[in-house]
Structure 1
Amino acid sequence: MLLLLLLQVLASCLWLGCSEVVTSFESSCPQFFFRATPPNEALEPESPAWICQLYKNQYYYATLYDRNRRIPVYSAYLYQPGPGKRPKTWLVEPQLMGPTHPKTMEREWTLLNYFSVTLEQLSKSQAILQDYKNLTGLNRGHLNPSGHHSDSSSRTATFTLTNIVPQNEKLNGGAWKNYEQQMMIRRTQGCNTTYVIVGAVPGNNYIAKGRVNKPSHIWSSACCEVDTNHRKAWAVIAENDKNEVQLLTLGELEDRLTQLYGRDQVSLFDSDCPRE
């Protein structure tokens, strides 16, 4: 009887695409990581949530979310830029409230009006739209930017509050934007597949009456497969109160994050990605 039940659960997962909030990236959405290897545990917060970001029944990227600070630790995706409009609708992650809620990201309004969810329930599990209103000198900074995706659905999937942090508005619209839009194009020349992980280092300050952490640093790393035998990697980091981006090797970023987090040595990609 138990075996039959397990088979039914497995079948439903295969048919629907299992829960968006998962137990590990290796088993649920490994395709967003080089060699199916996510970063090691050195970045994990006290209360983590592993999210395979699901929209219209398709996974578009992976996010490690910090439930206590209500910001993503990192988002991992494949770099596949294309032309298109910037989405306007902001979404939230229902399953952070529990596995009985919808597994695909939804608008706040939809949850409140069609799923008997209260704003208090939603706000306990994650950041909400109200948290990002009336900001001074900060705006909603994407970790996984919509411009790095090729179609409407994949771009819309980046417009979830589980993929953004309070980012310095000059940095977000200046040096960081230049990195996302200009430097990435130059750096990915000759790449067949580019795996990207963008993250935020928690800071000492908060917005929304202490609800949402303002990161001290924003960082990005990439591992590019040129062909079967050749790979290249690069990274950047920025302090979240200056309009400056520092270009690093992958190894330099991992060492810097190890210092900033003060835990074990950070490893962002499989060892076959060059560190120098």
Structure 2
Amino acid sequence: PAWICQRFRNSYHYATLYDRDRRIPVYSAYKYQPGPGDRSKSWFVEPQLIDPEYVKDMYGEDYIEMKYKITPEKTGQSQAINKDYKHLQSLNLERGHLSPSCHHTGNNKKWATFTLTNIVPQDSTLNKGAWNDYETTTMKEKTNGCETTYVIVGILPGNNYISGKRVNVPSHIWSAACCVVGTKPKKAWAVIAENNKKNKVQELSLGQLEARLRDFYGGRMITLFNNACPRQ
């Protein structure tokens, strides 16, 4: 895996743990700060995954090809590329953000979510339906009264792949949030959804989500938010 501090236009915006083998993020972590701004019309990749000596900012495949003389195919050895996400409609899949642009303010922060290292193949029905409702409506309601809300959105890898077995299709997508007032975590919550057209998001406590993740990862101890937030 690769730890990525997601940098765009010389500023850091959120963090991602990236699975190079499955070519999808394991999770992205960020502060919930929704506000105005535009969605990016371009998609970015990470030069630092091609070579640690390369620039830390995300860029488009065309720029990388021009600057480093590296083809998209070579870029694709270390990560997903645009070509991987073509022809998804027939599979009822689309590009699903882990750190969503709607949870950020201003063009730079929103555009920084349009790196393919923050994207998974997500069921279209879920992405447009119950998951979108959670991102836009439920999060707004639950964060009422919070001064700062920290969020981690992650996946559980699945058995299916797209693009000639290059990119994994997650079996589940999950999200956890911790609400802080002053310096004290006041409450936390979590959800998980099967990545399919059932279009259902299940609400959990933070502790319940951690237990689900522990089961999936063979009993390994998993604590979100460094054990600082309420589990119940």
Do they fold alike, i.e. is TM over 0.5? yes
Q: Could you say which residue in structure 2 is the equivalent of 1:176? A: 131
Q: Could you say which residue in structure 1 is the equivalent of 2:199? A: 243
Q: Could you say which residue in structure 2 is the equivalent of 1:186? A: 141
Name whichever structure is richer in helix by fraction: 1
Could you tell me how far apart the structure 2 residues matched to 1:206 and 1:74 are? 18
Kindly indicate whether the alpha-carbon contact (under 8 Å) linking 2:38 and 2:106 is maintained by their aligned counterparts in 1.
Answer: no
Q: Could you say which residue in structure 2 is the equivalent of 1:154? A: 109
Q: How many residues align?
A: 229
1:231-270 residue pairs with structure 2 within 5 A?
231-241=186-196, 242-270=198-226
Please identify the structure whose Cα radius of gyration is greater.
Answer: 1
Kindly indicate whether the alpha-carbon contact (under 8 Å) linking 1:140 and 1:167 is maintained by their aligned counterparts in 2.
Answer: yes
Q: Could you say which residue in structure 2 is the equivalent of 1:93? A: 46
Q: Could you say which residue in structure 2 is the equivalent of 1:82? A: 35
- 1:231 is displaced (CA, Å) by 1.4
Structure-1-length-normalised TM-score: 0.81
Amino acid in structure 1 at the alignment position of 2:158:
G
Kindly indicate whether the alpha-carbon contact (under 8 Å) linking 1:223 and 1:233 is maintained by their aligned counterparts in 2.
Answer: yes
Query: Which runs of 5 or more structure 2 residues have no equivalent in the other structure?
Result: none
1:210-257 superposed Cα distances (whole Å, 9 cap, x missing partner): 000000000000011023345110000000012010011000000011
1:64-86 superposed Cα distances (whole Å, 9 cap, x missing partner): 00000000000000000002222
Query: Which runs of 5 or more structure 1 residues have no equivalent in the other structure?
Result: 1-47
- Aligned residue for 1:59, secondary structure, equals strand
1:185-233 superposed Cα distances (whole Å, 9 cap, x missing partner): 0000000111000001000110000000000000000011023345110
Q: Post-superposition, which runs of at least 4 consecutive aligned residues in structure 1 deviate over 6 A?
A: none
Q: Could you say which residue in structure 2 is the equivalent of 1:68? A: 21
- 1:58 is displaced (CA, Å) by 0.6
Match of 2:67 among 92, 97, 114: 114
Q: Could you say which residue in structure 2 is the equivalent of 1:209? A: 164
Match of 1:163 among 89, 114, 118: 118
Kindly indicate whether the alpha-carbon contact (under 8 Å) linking 2:84 and 2:162 is maintained by their aligned counterparts in 1.
Answer: yes
Structure-2-length-normalised TM-score: 0.96
Q: Could you say which residue in structure 2 is the equivalent of 1:273? A: 229
Could you tell me how far apart the structure 2 residues matched to 1:55 and 1:229 are? 30
Amino acid in structure 2 at the alignment position of 1:116:
K
Kindly indicate whether the alpha-carbon contact (under 8 Å) linking 1:60 and 1:157 is maintained by their aligned counterparts in 2.
Answer: yes
Percent identity reads 60
